[in-house]
Amino acid sequence: MVAPPTLQRITVAEAIDAFLRTTRQKVVIGQFSERTCGIYTRDLADFAVLAGPSTVLDDVTGDDVDSIMSRYAMIPDRRRKVANTRARSGVRGGHALKSVSTQTLFHTTLTAFFRTAEKRGWVQSSPMLYTQLRPAKNHNLRVERRALTLDQAQALLEFGAGQPGPSTTALQRHSMVRDRCVFSLMVFLGPRVSEVTSANLSDFVPNTTGGAVWTVMGKGHKERALPLSSSLYGLVSQYQQLRRQLVADGALRAGGDDEAAFVSSRGNRINDQAVQRSLNAAVRRLQALPQGFSRGATPHALRHTAATLMLANGWDVKVVSGLLGHENIATTSRYLDELPGELERAIANHPLSDQLATEREAVNAA
């Protein structure tokens, strides 16, 4: 029987540093993704402020964690700016307060952190076992994270990236073509935004049908192959050709990240925030259209859109699960959002509908 580790009375700051060092090592060997490491880093920075960096970690109790969770929930979320904040609850300083999903993620980070702390002998037992407060489970996503309807998705692909005009500059045209390509990949195939921004030019390999295979590096460094139709690969090729032309003309800077599949106007690889900014700009353009666009959207909403539209059109859930990179089909089910009229169409196409119609006609004839 292995003896428990000797208790080390280290501070919150020291424990976090050691935990994040291990996390970064797990990223290198493919056990964790860069995104997971980023989330742990962000959440534990907030925890250090709320708990006190010089506090001895073993002195943190379940009641302390409850207090930290309560205070964390009231911190404005700098990623979610809200307009027209007058008399609105859940808003502070022009920013929305932490959403239930964000609080849940913070709670999950603390659970993982204290689980490691208990194994390493930084605490006698995890205070998470003695907490009373847990974020409520919220199965309703914010509107901007839900799937677009078919009409909204079509409008995004047609008008979202903008339309070139006589005064459009070379760099503006570069952004338009790039954004249309990125939006199309996300709506058609449902990759994670991090998978798009980390893609390299060499990941797209053309095939004999005019399409291509995109090798995606997903969570946990697990690869999957996504087939691109000829029209979808045509957008990728168009962007790559334009990019090479602009570099040759000196309009687009070279040498930033030549391997990156998608770059900024400065030639650097785009990041997740850049995709969100492009999507925000697309939503503003769509809201200005006569038919309007009365919602926001996040990159995650485009992933939901791909899953929802594919399954609404009869795709096998196992195929959709494979495209999304889910190991468990149950995970895919959480990505399905009800589309307007979907239930009505399902009832209208019920396999027994014809039988009911025949019986009704027989009754009327009698």
- Examine the residue annotation and report whether 192 is marked as an active-site residue of this protein: yes
Angle of helix 170-189 relative to helix 230-249, nearest 10 degrees? Answer: 160
- 76-81, strands of its sheet edge to edge: 76-81, 95-97, 91-92
**Strand-pair partners of 321:** none
Query: For the chain, how many residues are written?
Result: 366
The DSSP element (H or E) to which 85 belongs, if any, is none
Beta-carbon-side half-sphere exposure of residue 77 (alpha carbons within 13 Å) = 17
Catalytic one of 26, 219, 224, 253: 219
- In Å, how far are 135, 297, 337, 349, 357 from 288, measured between CA atoms? 37, 15, 26, 36, 45
State the maximum Cα–Cα separation within the chain, in Å, rounded to a whole number. Answer: 88
Catalytic one of 146, 174, 303, 304: 303
- Token pair of 107, please? 């709670």
- Examine the residue annotation and report whether 219 is marked as an active-site residue of this protein: yes
The SS3 call for residue 116 is helix
- Examine the residue annotation and report whether 350 is marked as an active-site residue of this protein: no
DSSP string, 161-179: T----TT--HHHHHHHHHH
The SS3 call for residue 147 is coil
Catalytic one of 192, 243, 269, 304: 192
Conformation bin of residue 164: beta by default, left when phi > 0, alpha when psi is -120 to 50: beta
Is residue 109 within 8 A of residue 40, CB to CB? The reply is: yes
Contact residues for 39 (Cβ-Cβ < 8 A; gap 6+): 105, 109
- Examine the residue annotation and report whether 266 is marked as an active-site residue of this protein: no
- Examine the residue annotation and report whether 303 is marked as an active-site residue of this protein: yes
Dist CA 289 CA 76 (whole Å): 32
- Token pair of 131, please? 């907490």
Dist CA 40 CA 111 (whole Å): 11
- Examine the residue annotation and report whether 81 is marked as an active-site residue of this protein: no
- Just list the catalytic residues: 192, 219, 300, 303, 326, 335
